Chains A and B, each alone.
Chain A
């Protein structure tokens, strides 16, 4: 009985939701179009009252009989029209996205991109039915506002190791593969156009090649959207994704080349040569622009320790500037953006605070999500809206040729590449790479940029068909195919310290073996680069003592912090971490003597402490005055579940003492509040700032408790010993806790970073 009700409730809930979504959709669409109509059609009438009310004061002396009542409520849509509509569209897009994830089962079968295109089609259809003009995917909007966040998100979080290891393969696929696609498709389409009876005689070779260059590039947005959901192994992911990023240079060059020449009419050998030179300039120039901005960004982040709040902005702005600067010179903006993100990341991450890192991560994810959603919806709307010229032969042959050329290209190139790879690409890998060659909105926008002609409409129709085919058919079927072929999935486990140790070990080992063999191979150069990085670059770009920190140490620190936070999180949500092995240090080192707790660097310590304090502490805090430039801690107020929380905290702290080895060898005399926590569920508050009086202990159960902050035993021997006398079996824990958590308290800190 009890089970039926929730199930029925859920079903009725989802039905209600679906209904609600549809209604909302229609309402929003009608509001948008109605507002347009109102504004455009009735501008006159709306402006009149304004004019009248304005003129009124002037004419007041003349026409007292004319006096109008003061308008209590007026309507002035024109003022907010543009931002209002933009916000409305974005809101609609995001509500749709929300809806898909609430409705059960839909998101498992159909990838999100398909659903969003579907919604776009629907909205476009509705708008057209009303008779309004739908907003089209403006090229400038797309390339300047919608695309950069997605690429930056991808570039900033690019897995460098995998990318570099497979760089050769990726480059071959990106450059040679795309070139092959362009010429094959362009050439074959030209051949098709020559067939009598297809009415395509007007299409010349250069136009065909131009079309080929637009349609053959694998699209990063579509690849990301689809591959994100299927979780295949890192190798395949980086191959397809890396290819989609790096082929931008080829696309840019070829597109401009063919566009120039389709006006000129003929191509000479010199032009072709110039094209090749242009390719190198575009790609390498783009990368260089990105690297310069990346270094600037890293250098700037070195000095931001006093203004933590604006740190994320530097990352975003420098990257965006890199993209725009590259676009100024017609260099490859995508490669510039990627290079900037890759260059900046290791140094920026060593410099910025943890909160800034989280901010960057979430903002990037958020923006790229919004962009992606908007792109797909606009794609759907533009499909319905745009002028179409449907030509069966052309479209069908385009789709078929795209598939064929992709398959042939991948097979042929893999055959050559496998001769140089250690880990060969299997047939399954090749299939996934070929199948993952999705086309997307970049092709559409490039097509939109073409000069208006009869051919443009036909091209656009064909491009849209290919995009729809790849996104719908290939996007929907790739997941079951991956299951069917049992392609290796992404490794779910997180990196352990052992793996990190052995990764480093292996790097050095292989470098050594290469040196013994006398061969200057991969590892040799990688090692040289690392040493150069360590001696010169890091000193300039990383602030403070982090610049000399070896990678193993930073990994270890990061891991400790993560574990501390995980424990804190689980404590806050009321759940304890799932499976914790009961193995502790005692099992490994049965020495009777308490080992000296080792130290980690001071600033690290500070960070860890701040995090712990911010989440655990519940002292009664004097509220500070609100300041826009500071980040404040919110005191945690929960009197109800006090005892439960306290119990959990004991558990948590005991476990934390196993992981966290933060010492407190320094004697600190913080003149602030400290709270001592007793496992007997009694809370004592000390108020050092008011007391040379020593043992002022007020039992105070009402403020929710906090972290125990016993000072070093030597400082307050009487109290601690007294306390400890009460709980002899907890002595060890207290000792550990005292070593772990000596805290200057909340009032001293400037901001919680």
Chain B
């Protein structure tokens, strides 16, 4: 993560760097972006996110924005939703997308995996009860397909149902006809995406290089 360079006049960066693992360069760039987004205010609100034009054509836009205001992603084991976030929280959420360093030992890599998968789990589990129910999963698939026109309503539902069936099969194996599968817990979720290699896929390259190209 780069050596700790002593930048004069930025003692708070030290604290942030330690908490999130970003380098000073990266924190500086993100701070600039934060100020740009929030029009130089101290805190970001949902409207600021909604104002980003590129985000408009993203089908899961609302879920991404919600993720920024979700206390569970602030690494403090909190819960609930906030209305506005400061730079520290912004950075904490962003830190989930940091690429893992090369020589991580197996445990560290595992914890990185868990962390990233927990982020996605939190995005799916909107009512905060620790499981992804069938309704929530259906909502996920519907959102994903929301931008394609001419889609029949039930297709999304059937896809979600098939997916749920698969999760249940993988996690539970054998169930009696009258048992009820509550929902996907985090452990099931981990098992489900076992082969997914998320630690190498869920990364933003931007955070790897020291670039000052801020478009827009």
Which residues in A have their C-beta under 8 angstroms from that of B206?
514, 517, 519, 521
A658 to B164, CA, bound (A): 13
Q: Find out whether the CB atom of B150 lies under 8 angstroms from the CB atom of A548.
A: yes
Q: Find out whether the CB atom of B144 lies under 8 angstroms from the CB atom of A552.
A: yes
Which residues in B have their C-beta under 8 angstroms from that of A553?
145, 148, 151, 155, 159
Which residues in A have their C-beta under 8 angstroms from that of B208?
422
B74-105 with Cβ < 8 A to chain A: 94, 97, 99, 102
Q: Find out whether the CB atom of A516 lies under 8 angstroms from the CB atom of B52.
A: yes
How many positions in chain B have a CB within 8 Å of any CB in the partner chain?
73
CB distance from A602 to the nearest CB of B (A): 11
Q: Find out whether the CB atom of B196 lies under 8 angstroms from the CB atom of A587.
A: no
Q: Find out whether the CB atom of A531 lies under 8 angstroms from the CB atom of B57.
A: yes
CB distance from A626 to the nearest CB of B (A): 41
- Answer whether residue B5 sits at the interface, using C-beta atoms and an 8 A cutoff: no
User: Which of B102, B120, B145, B166 is the one whose CB lies under 8 Å from A496?
Assistant: B166
Q: Find out whether the CB atom of A510 lies under 8 angstroms from the CB atom of B202.
A: yes
Which residues in A have their C-beta under 8 angstroms from that of B134?
588-589
A724 to B203, CA, bound (A): 57
Closest 3 CB pairs of A and B: A598-B154, A581-B169, A515-B54
Binding site for A on B (CB under 8 A): 30, 33, 36-37, 49, 52, 54-55, 57-61, 64, 94, 97, 99, 102, 120, 123, 134, 140-141, 144-145, 148-152, 154-155, 157-159, 161-169, 172-181, 192-193, 195-196, 198, 200-206, 208-209, 211, 213-216
Q: Find out whether the CB atom of A587 lies under 8 angstroms from the CB atom of B168.
A: yes
Q: Find out whether the CB atom of B215 lies under 8 angstroms from the CB atom of A588.
A: no
Known: A506-B201, A509-B64, A512-B55. A587 touches B163 (CB 8 A): no
Q: Find out whether the CB atom of A552 lies under 8 angstroms from the CB atom of B169.
A: no
A424 to B104, CA, bound (A): 12
CB distance from B102 to the nearest CB of A (A): 5
Known: A586-B177, A587-B181. A518 touches B214 (CB 8 A): yes
Q: Find out whether the CB atom of B161 lies under 8 angstroms from the CB atom of A582.
A: no
- Answer whether residue A718 sits at the interface, using C-beta atoms and an 8 A cutoff: no
Q: Find out whether the CB atom of B158 lies under 8 angstroms from the CB atom of A502.
A: no
CB distance from A38 to the nearest CB of B (A): 62
- Answer whether residue A65 sits at the interface, using C-beta atoms and an 8 A cutoff: no
User: Which of B94, B155, B164 is the one whose CB lies under 8 Å from A588?
Assistant: B164
Q: Find out whether the CB atom of B60 lies under 8 angstroms from the CB atom of A508.
A: yes
Q: Find out whether the CB atom of B175 lies under 8 angstroms from the CB atom of A582.
A: yes
Q: Find out whether the CB atom of A583 lies under 8 angstroms from the CB atom of B196.
A: no
Which residues in B have their C-beta under 8 angstroms from that of A479?
none
A524 to B145, CA, bound (A): 19
A553 to B151, CA, bound (A): 10
A112 to B2, CA, bound (A): 49
Which residues in B have their C-beta under 8 angstroms from that of A502?
120, 193, 196
User: Which of B55, B177, B203 is the one whose CB lies under 8 Å from A584?
Assistant: B177
A704 to B151, CA, bound (A): 41
How many positions in chain A have a CB within 8 Å of any CB in the partner chain?
62
Q: Find out whether the CB atom of A519 lies under 8 angstroms from the CB atom of B214.
A: yes
A661 to B152, CA, bound (A): 14
**B209 — nearest CB in chain A belongs to which residue?**
A420
Q: Find out whether the CB atom of A511 lies under 8 angstroms from the CB atom of B200.
A: no
CB distance from B70 to the nearest CB of A (A): 14
**B32 — nearest CB in chain A belongs to which residue?**
A518
CB distance from B170 to the nearest CB of A (A): 8
Binding site for B on A (CB under 8 A): 418, 420, 422-424, 426, 491, 493, 496-499, 501-502, 504-506, 508-524, 531, 545, 548-550, 552-553, 556, 559-560, 581-590, 596, 598-601, 658-659, 661
Q: In the complex, which of the residues A422, A502, A523 has the most CB atoms of chain B within 10 Å of its own CB atom?
A: A502
Known: A423-B200, A512-B58. A498 touches B177 (CB 8 A): no
Q: Apart from A513-B204, A556-B155, what 17 extra A-B contacts exist at CB < 8 Å? A: A497-B162, A501-B159, A508-B59, A508-B60, A512-B60, A515-B52, A516-B64, A519-B204, A519-B215, A553-B159, A581-B169, A581-B172, A587-B179, A588-B168, A598-B154, A598-B155, A599-B154
CB distance from A539 to the nearest CB of B (A): 13
A496 to B193, CA, bound (A): 10
* A-B contact number at CB 8 A: 179
Q: In the complex, which of the residues B159, B179, B203 has the most CB atoms of chain A within 10 Å of its own CB atom?
A: B159
Q: List 15 A-B contacts (CB under 8 A).
A: A497-B162, A505-B60, A508-B59, A509-B123, A510-B202, A510-B204, A518-B33, A523-B204, A524-B54, A581-B175, A583-B173, A583-B175, A585-B161, A588-B161, A600-B155
A519 to B204, CA, bound (A): 10
A516 to B158, CA, bound (A): 32
Q: In the complex, which of the residues B36, B181, B211 has the most CB atoms of chain A within 10 Å of its own CB atom?
A: B181
Q: Find out whether the CB atom of A552 lies under 8 angstroms from the CB atom of B145.
A: yes
CB distance from B59 to the nearest CB of A (A): 6
A23 to B54, CA, bound (A): 72
CB distance from B32 to the nearest CB of A (A): 9
Which residues in B have their C-beta under 8 angstroms from that of A549?
148
Which residues in A have their C-beta under 8 angstroms from that of B198?
506
**B173 — nearest CB in chain A belongs to which residue?**
A581
Which residues in B have their C-beta under 8 angstroms from that of A583?
165, 168-169, 172-175, 181
CB distance from B190 to the nearest CB of A (A): 12
Q: Find out whether the CB atom of B145 lies under 8 angstroms from the CB atom of A550.
A: yes
User: Which of B173, B175, B204 is the one whose CB lies under 8 Å from A521?
Assistant: B204
A508 to B145, CA, bound (A): 11
Q: Find out whether the CB atom of A582 lies under 8 angstroms from the CB atom of B61.
A: no
**A524 — nearest CB in chain B belongs to which residue?**
B54
Q: Find out whether the CB atom of B64 lies under 8 angstroms from the CB atom of A512.
A: yes
Which residues in A have their C-beta under 8 angstroms from that of B192?
498
Which residues in B have their C-beta under 8 angstroms from that of A501?
140-141, 144, 159, 163
Which residues in B have their C-beta under 8 angstroms from that of A585?
161, 165
Which residues in A have their C-beta under 8 angstroms from that of B151?
550, 553
User: Which of A508, A524, A586 is the one whose CB lies under 8 Å from B144?
Assistant: A508
A508 to B120, CA, bound (A): 12
Q: Find out whether the CB atom of B58 lies under 8 angstroms from the CB atom of A515.
A: yes
CB distance from A567 to the nearest CB of B (A): 15
Known: A519-B214, A553-B159. A548 touches B169 (CB 8 A): no
User: Which of A418, A497, A510 is the one whose CB lies under 8 Å from B163?
Assistant: A497
Known: A587-B181, A596-B154. A498 touches B167 (CB 8 A): yes
A239 to B94, CA, bound (A): 31
A517 to B30, CA, bound (A): 7
Q: Find out whether the CB atom of A505 lies under 8 angstroms from the CB atom of B140.
A: yes
User: Which of A550, A599, A658 is the one whose CB lies under 8 Å from B152?
Assistant: A599
A261 to B17, CA, bound (A): 58
CB distance from A590 to the nearest CB of B (A): 5
Which residues in B have their C-beta under 8 angstroms from that of A560?
162
CB distance from B158 to the nearest CB of A (A): 4
Which residues in B have their C-beta under 8 angstroms from that of A552?
141, 144-145, 159
A559 to B213, CA, bound (A): 42
A499 to B193, CA, bound (A): 7
A661 to B206, CA, bound (A): 43
Q: Find out whether the CB atom of A512 lies under 8 angstroms from the CB atom of B168.
A: no
A583 to B173, CA, bound (A): 7
Q: Find out whether the CB atom of B154 lies under 8 angstroms from the CB atom of A590.
A: no
**A559 — nearest CB in chain B belongs to which residue?**
B162
Which residues in A have their C-beta under 8 angstroms from that of B179?
587
A101 to B63, CA, bound (A): 54
Which residues in A have their C-beta under 8 angstroms from that of B211?
519
User: Which of A516, A523, A550, A600 is the one whose CB lies under 8 Å from B55?
Assistant: A516
Which residues in B have their C-beta under 8 angstroms from that of A600?
155, 158
A377 to B186, CA, bound (A): 56
User: Which of B97, B148, B152, B205 is the one whose CB lies under 8 Å from A522?
Assistant: B205
User: Which of A516, A517, A581, A661 is the one whose CB lies under 8 Å from B174?
Assistant: A581
**A553 — nearest CB in chain B belongs to which residue?**
B155
Q: Find out whether the CB atom of A517 lies under 8 angstroms from the CB atom of B94.
A: yes
